[in-house]
Amino acid sequence: MTTASRLTSRAFLVVAGLTVLIPFLAILSAALQPTTTLVPRLEWPTNPQWGNFAEAWTSAGFGSLLRSSFLIAITVVPVTLVLATLAGYGMAMFRFRGRGLLFAFFIAGLTLPYEAIVIPLYFDLRSVGLIDTYWAVILPLIGAFMPFGIFWMRSHFESIPAELSEAAEIDGASRMRILFQVLLPTARPALTTLGLLTFMWAWNQFLLALILLRDPAMRTAPSGLGTFVQQYGENVPLLAAGTLIVIAPIALLFLAFQRQFISGMLQGALK
Amino acid sequence: MAVTNTAPAALVREPAGAAGTARRSPATPARRSRKRRDRLAALAFIGPAFVAYGLFIAAPWAHSVWISLFEWDGIGPSTWVGLDNYVKVLTDPELVGALRNGIGLIFFYTVLPIGLGLVLAALFAAAPGRASGWLRTLLFLPQIMPLVAVGVIWRYLYSGDGPVNQVLEVFGLGAVTRAWLGDFDTAFLAVGIVGTWVTTGLCTLLLFTGMQKIDRSLYEAAQLDRCGPVRQFLHVTIPGVRAEIVVATTVTIIAALASFDVIFVTTGGGPGTATIVPGVLIYRLVFTSNQVGLACALATVLSVLIMVIVAVIGRIGKERS
């Protein structure tokens, strides 16, 4: 490549990077303006108001929104991991009639939009008194993560050489023992990635939280942000601070585990 | 895709003893009991997941299809109307418009990001190094964020005195500045660009991993045939990442048709119905105009549309490879 074309291609990549970066810098600079600024200009504040974050956390209630999201995510993730591991193992290791059909039934869920199930969920969960409890979001999320989770764990168990479990079987180990003592230790990376992705999807979920948790006191971080913007959209600095608070946990997790996140999402899509 | 690739491997892994005797001898009582034990064990392992998925995903979906056959305001008694709601979904201008907008978003969620992604991935492949690794991570960032937060950020960027207009003024384009999300002519373009911003990183990285797998000798052969970089890109690179293009298309089309979060917080479907999409209209039908049956019919059409499109893309992808 000539120097000129190399420079052009580098410039193109840098511009692409800036297109992603600038919106984040803009929202950060907006979050640091005095809350009296109507629409903050794109400029670094002369007197950064870090206190806006404290105000968003307490008086705008983002602290309690985060608490809801955490409660939901830390329930959904372990249950999903356990159910997906068991079912992924079952789908990978047993032959039975209707197995292909069952797998297709699970996989169909990968294409199903939340819009297609949320209305009956609202009426059904209301009639059993679960609406406005965290279970209204936790239970459907666990169900919704089954297709990907089973699929993910099944491919993991199928990638392990069969000799490993056969040897254990000859030694007289039960199915449960094979799963927990022989296969599970090999599954740690697959489980880590699945756990991270599940946490992210649970944390980011908006539609279910918006409709199934109508009580403002129960709102999650995204649904709280989505309703906050409609009520206090005028107060851009406070809104911007709240937005960054909602993003922060998932962004930090991404920075710490970026390899798992990226390879997990790419492999998950490719599989 | 791997779903089919792994199946033969799984067959090989059948416990050798059981499979071997199965073909030769007729079912002995011992074999039959082993088979039954296997079935029971499978049931025990898969059962809990099946219940969770069946109860909270599959059953609500079936219930939604059932509700779609009624006229129901969500409170009072319901009236059987057969397929009337579906006729309305496919003829009423507002409902058709929502579906049309959803399909229109495919341009911004799928076509543009894959086009941009192909170029970016090729440039990344030609520029190895730590800096370009960091840049790829940065490009991926929008993909992991809550889409509500993405919507809030862009709502601010697009606002009347906001950063987008401010930048345009700097470049002497003050004449085109406007409230992008409130203008009938630009609102759809504006929310579409947010979609492009979100999915381009995923597409780029998918295509980039595909390009890493292309056999180097193909490029050498192309060079011997005096193909320049552009022709190499068209004749070696693009065919080499066909599988990744199929995957990126599938994933992003689902995201386009099922989009809700970004539009809900930026425009709410407005101005008028300029940016209404099925998800937002379903929400409105249930919670503002109490037409639950109609909302469920739209939801059913949306889910069937997505399944059909995904199946067709899968078929095309398989035929070509």
* Intra-chain end-to-end CA distance of chain A, in Å: 35
- Residue B94 covered by a domain: yes
Task: For chain A, list residues with pLDDT below 70.
Answer: 1, 271
- Residue B44 covered by a domain: no
User: What pLDDT score was predicted for residue A270?
Assistant: 73
pLDDT class of B109 with cuts at 50, 70, 90? very high
Residues from chain B that touch A112, judged by Cβ atoms under 8 A, are 57, 61, 303, 306
- Residue A28 covered by a domain: no
- Residue B23 covered by a domain: no
Q: Domain count of chain A?
A: 1
CB contact under 8 A, A113 and B140: no
User: What pLDDT score was predicted for residue B22?
Assistant: 40
Q: What is the CATH number of the domain that holds A135?
A: 1.10.3720.10
The answer, yes or no, to whether residue B11 has pLDDT greater than 60, is: no
User: What pLDDT score was predicted for residue B13?
Assistant: 33
Tell the burial category of A128 from Cβ atoms under 10 Å away from its Cβ (0-12, 13-18, 19+). exposed
Q: What is the CATH number of the domain that holds B203?
A: 1.10.3720.10
- Residue A54 covered by a domain: no
What tokens does B102 get? Answer: 């959803």
Total number of residues shown for chain A: 271
User: How far does B189 lie from chain A, in Å, by closest CA?
Assistant: 17
Q: Domain count of chain B?
A: 1
User: What pLDDT score was predicted for residue B31?
Assistant: 67
Quick check: ipTM above 0.85? Answer: yes
User: What pLDDT score was predicted for residue A181?
Assistant: 80
* Average pLDDT over every residue of B202-231: 90
pLDDT class of B1 with cuts at 50, 70, 90? very low
- Residue B239 covered by a domain: yes
User: What pLDDT score was predicted for residue B281?
Assistant: 97
For chain B, the average pLDDT equals 88
Question: Residue A25 contacts by C-beta under 8 Å, 6 or more apart in sequence?
Answer: none
Determine how many CB atoms are found less than 10 A away from the CB of residue B247.
25
Is B289:B78 a contact under the CB 8 Å cutoff?
no
User: How far does A230 lie from chain B, in Å, by closest CA?
Assistant: 8
The per-residue pLDDT for range A231-265, each reduced to its tens digit, is 877 788 999 999 999 999 999 999 999 899 998 99
Torsion over CA of B312, B315, B316 and B320, rounded to 10 degrees? 180
- Residue A171 covered by a domain: yes
The answer, yes or no, to whether residue B136 has pLDDT greater than 60, is: yes
Give which of B141, B152, B208, B233 to mutate to test A binding, by max A Cβ within 10 Å: B152
Structural domain boundaries enclosing B286 = 84-320
* Average pLDDT over every residue of B64-86: 94
Give residues 227 to 266 of B whose Cβ lies within 8 Å of A.
229, 243-244, 247-248, 250-251, 254, 257-258, 260-261, 264-265
Give percent of chain B above pLDDT 70: 89
- Residue A145 covered by a domain: yes
Q: Which residue of B has its CA nearest to A42?
A: B163
The per-residue pLDDT for range B14-37, each reduced to its tens digit, is 333 333 334 444 556 666 677 777
* Average pLDDT over every residue of B138-143: 94
- Residue B11 covered by a domain: no
Structural domain boundaries enclosing A101 = 63-230+243-270
- Residue A58 covered by a domain: no
